[in-house]
Structure 1
Amino acid sequence: MPDRIPIRLDEYESAQLKIDQLTARDVDRLHALQARGCLTLVPDHTGWRLKADATVGILVLDRVRVTIAPKFVIPGEQLMSWLAYALGTPVPAAARRWATGPDGYSDLVAAALLEQCERLLREGLRRDYVRRVSVEPVLRGRLDIAAQATRRYGQLDQLHVRTFDREADIWDNRVLGSALKAALRLTANADLARALHGIAGAFPQASTPVAALNALDRTEYTRLNARYRPAHTWARLLLRGGGVTDLLSDHGSTADGLLLAMPAIWEAVVRRLGTEAVSPYGGHAVPGGSDIGITVRGDLGNVSAFRPDLLLSLPGHDTAQRTLLPVDAKYKRYDRHGVSAADVHQLLTYSAGYASRDAQSAVIIHPQSGGHAHRTLHVGSPHSGLGSIHVFGICTHALPEEAATWIGSMLR
């Protein structure tokens, strides 16, 4: 494989590409990613200008290898802790064997998959009964009488048989083989590539990545395959190129890569943070935010509805009465500038729609560095107060469990 030109930029930053650094296929793939809101590609007088949005990761094209690093939110040494927290899977220990260098973000995910696959091999791959149709010199399984009569014309030197044997060539293992192959294409670390190549041969592969993804979407976990869940989580992340079912809006990129949509990841983090923060005090998350949501009627077009990222049900002073608290995740630098008017209007609408009239409040949770922070916005009119907005800044240099404890102390 020819060496690709490395292009490195931070999220929200842009890089200049020469006209000959992108093939026609690359341009088509980048435009497809642009349609999903991952990046922006525009022509200029010298070639192309590639701008990253709120997306981080790696993108392997025909002639260039683009690395997009987080600008401020999650440091490399904490990335796996927060990503695993968002995915609801244990933090892999093997991921720490590789430093977070220029390609470290994709390498960390590949290392996490490698660790889980190594564990499954040590424990023994799951086997299940697989039906096979074959031609054998001796009788195994059941004789296919119709095939024997119509294809062998009664001859018995070769027997058409149907077998039903326990094999490792099942979908639980095939998706991992396909994911290991995808990880091998992405990694630039020689040690990691060697380890991935060594273990990939132990797993069967699906016919196509799409077939593997379809199998993952159909997978139901029981006591027989529950131990495969962490490995499948990292496999889905790699096979979708960063998209995760019920986590990221991207449904798979058309180019080899691992692109993580940071706003969607932060929303998943906040949903889990808020739920775990209030559970020790008798609070819980309202499933789906609410049954109906806040609706807008009478405008042109269809009726629209919107919900907060998280709606918490909290115990009130009276044990028989509970308070609803809307929480919204904002992937913004609210540690450096004030909350925008649009977000103030949005959170006031949430508080008016869900919170009780005597305590109309809502919460914004945003990422930051340098410790947790809390400030309160008091919104009022010339006649009365309209509500309050609590702005929580979560330090991503800390562990997620520490952040959940701190949020719980603030809400209590």
Structure 2
Amino acid sequence: MPDRTEVRIGEYGSVLLAASQLTPRDVTRLRALQTHGRLSLEQTLTGWRLKAGATVGLLALDRIRLVVEPKFAIPGDRLMGWLAYALGAPTPIPVTSRHWATGPEGYADLVVGALLEQCERLLREGLRRDYVRHRSLEPVLRGRLDVAAQTTLRYGQLDKLHIRTFDRETNIWDNRVLGAALQVARTLTTNSDLARDLRAIADAFPKGTPPDAALRALDRTQYTRLNARYRAAHTWARLLLRGGGVTDILTDRDTAADGLLLAMPALWEATVRRLVTDAVGPHGGRAVVGGCTAGITVRGDLGITSAFRPDVLLSLPDRDRAVYAPLPVDAKYKRYDRHGIGAADVHQLLTYSAGYTSSGDRRAVIVHPCAGGHSYRVLQIDSPRGSLGNIHVLGIDTHALPQKATAWLGSTLPLTNG
């Protein structure tokens, strides 16, 4: 991999780049990311102004390595736990067997290391084998004779036989997608120890699968008892092959982003969705399947009818578990432990409370990340005609384990009416 100048900026930060630092190919790729709202690129008199959005990680361009750092740091071991929790990885990555630390590559090395850890485990257990169909021309009969090919291509000659065989081998899609992900991982890390381990293990997996083909295969994968142990490795492979994000494919017209970028708002929404669902389960609550599909609808404006809905709609029982009441929850990737709630978010949550809760119990919940301990406060919204409702603001300590955050949420969320 050619040497590249490293450029580091913070989330929502910006940097001025000289015209010589970006190639035409780089500009095309950055424009594709701009289309997806990941960053912005503006041409200046002397070069380019690059501004990051709420997307962090590593982007390897032709002449620079762009590292976008998050607004507030998460320890490496905690990050692996939160990522596994948000992505629904079946088993947490064992943090004791490898030193997880947020190094110069930030999140990229962590996810690369997670993939490596899972691939090493699969190799120790033995890679899965399955029957693969082959067609070949052989001097002896093995398998089945391909009569049609023999008669039309060999014209009665029997010195070579067209045969069809089924052989058990590791060159199957479960392993091929990991081989493709390992090749991508080798381009992302500059850590010599990690690069050495990747080279050593990559030879054990089938090669030659393009990343887009591997992604399509992952999307089609169905897990059974035969390949269930591959689920965790496939989770990290999918993240690397897509370039990052929970549902993020950073491609546009066959222009792929060479890097690992995590869309933090989407990741936080996935985290909160699982957190609150797990928190209310022991109390008899549940998340509404489909997430309140009706939504709140706006009609009569210029353009088409629009609808919006909270990130999660919980259905909670009263004290006797006789009546279930809805509670809208919205995930906000904002530092509301340091700043007051913005007017736009107050209006949004009041709309949710009016649309989904009863007139006698207007309430809604904001869940945001914070550091240094969980936080909780209640906003009381009043008007000249009386109370408009309450907004419960819950801060989740991202330095804690997800399981502890779940327990705290279960004891703090307004789980009953009143």
Question: Does the 8 A contact of 1:367 with 1:396 survive in 2?
Answer: yes
CA distance in 2, matches of 1:99, 1:347: 37
* Equivalent runs, 1:79-158 vs 2, <5 Å: 79-89=79-89, 90-93=91-94, 96-158=98-160
Give the equivalent residue in structure 2 for 1:290. Answer: 292
Give the equivalent residue in structure 1 for 2:306. Answer: 304
Question: 1:271 Cα shift?
Answer: 0.4
Give the equivalent residue in structure 1 for 2:269. Answer: 267
Question: 1:254 Cα shift?
Answer: 2.0
CA displacement 1:237-274 (0-9 Å, x = unmatched):
000000344xx475687221000000000000100110
Question: 1:98 Cα shift?
Answer: 4.8
CA distance in 2, matches of 1:85, 1:152: 58
Give the equivalent residue in structure 1 for 2:235. Answer: 233
1:54 is matched by which residue type in structure 2? A
CA distance in 1, matches of 2:226, 2:77: 34
* Higher mean C-alpha deviation, range 36-45 or range 187-196: 36-45
Give the equivalent residue in structure 2 for 1:4. Answer: 4
Question: Does the 8 A contact of 2:242 with 2:249 survive in 1?
Answer: no
CA displacement 1:344-394 (0-9 Å, x = unmatched):
111011111111222110000011112111110111211121110000111
* Equivalent runs, 1:222-371 vs 2, <5 Å: 222-245=224-247, 248=248, 250=250, 254-371=256-373
Q: Cα 1:163–1:238, aligned 2, differ >3 Å: closer, same or farther?
A: same
Question: Does the 8 A contact of 2:246 with 2:266 survive in 1?
Answer: no
CA RMSD of aligned residues (A): 1.6
Secondary structure at the aligned position of 2:71 is classed as coil
CA distance in 2, matches of 1:356, 1:169: 58
Q: Cα 1:229–1:251, aligned 2, differ >3 Å: closer, same or farther?
A: farther
Give the equivalent residue in structure 1 for 2:386. Answer: 384
Question: Does the 8 A contact of 2:76 with 2:100 survive in 1?
Answer: no
Question: Does the 8 A contact of 2:59 with 2:257 survive in 1?
Answer: yes
1:110 is matched by which residue type in structure 2? V
Give the equivalent residue in structure 2 for 1:74. Answer: 74
Secondary structure at the aligned position of 1:97 is classed as coil
- TM-score by length of structure 2 reads 0.94
Structure 1 residues not aligned, in runs of 5+: none
Give the equivalent residue in structure 2 for 1:59. Answer: 59
CA distance in 1, matches of 2:110, 2:53: 22
Q: Cα 1:219–1:206, aligned 2, differ >3 Å: closer, same or farther?
A: farther
CA distance in 1, matches of 2:354, 2:292: 14
Secondary structure at the aligned position of 1:305 is classed as strand
CA displacement 1:79-119 (0-9 Å, x = unmatched):
21211111111332268425322113211101110111111
CA distance in 1, matches of 2:336, 2:101: 30
- TM-score by length of structure 1 reads 0.96
Secondary structure at the aligned position of 1:235 is classed as helix
Question: Does the 8 A contact of 1:33 with 1:254 survive in 2?
Answer: no
Question: 1:328 Cα shift?
Answer: 0.1
Question: Does the 8 A contact of 1:310 with 1:326 survive in 2?
Answer: yes
Question: 1:309 Cα shift?
Answer: 0.3
Give the equivalent residue in structure 2 for 1:50. Answer: 50
* Higher mean C-alpha deviation, range 385-394 or range 316-325: 316-325
Give the equivalent residue in structure 1 for 2:14. Answer: 14
Identity %: 68
CA distance in 1, matches of 2:237, 2:131: 23
CA distance in 1, matches of 2:62, 2:120: 31
CA distance in 2, matches of 1:396, 1:128: 42
Secondary structure at the aligned position of 2:327 is classed as strand
Secondary structure at the aligned position of 2:290 is classed as coil
CA distance in 2, matches of 1:173, 1:249: 21
Q: Cα 1:51–1:407, aligned 2, differ >3 Å: closer, same or farther?
A: same
Give the equivalent residue in structure 1 for 2:39. Answer: 39
Question: 1:283 Cα shift?
Answer: 0.9
Question: Does the 8 A contact of 2:127 with 2:170 survive in 1?
Answer: yes
CA distance in 1, matches of 2:299, 2:318: 32
Question: 1:219 Cα shift?
Answer: 0.8
Structure 2 residues not aligned, in runs of 5+: none
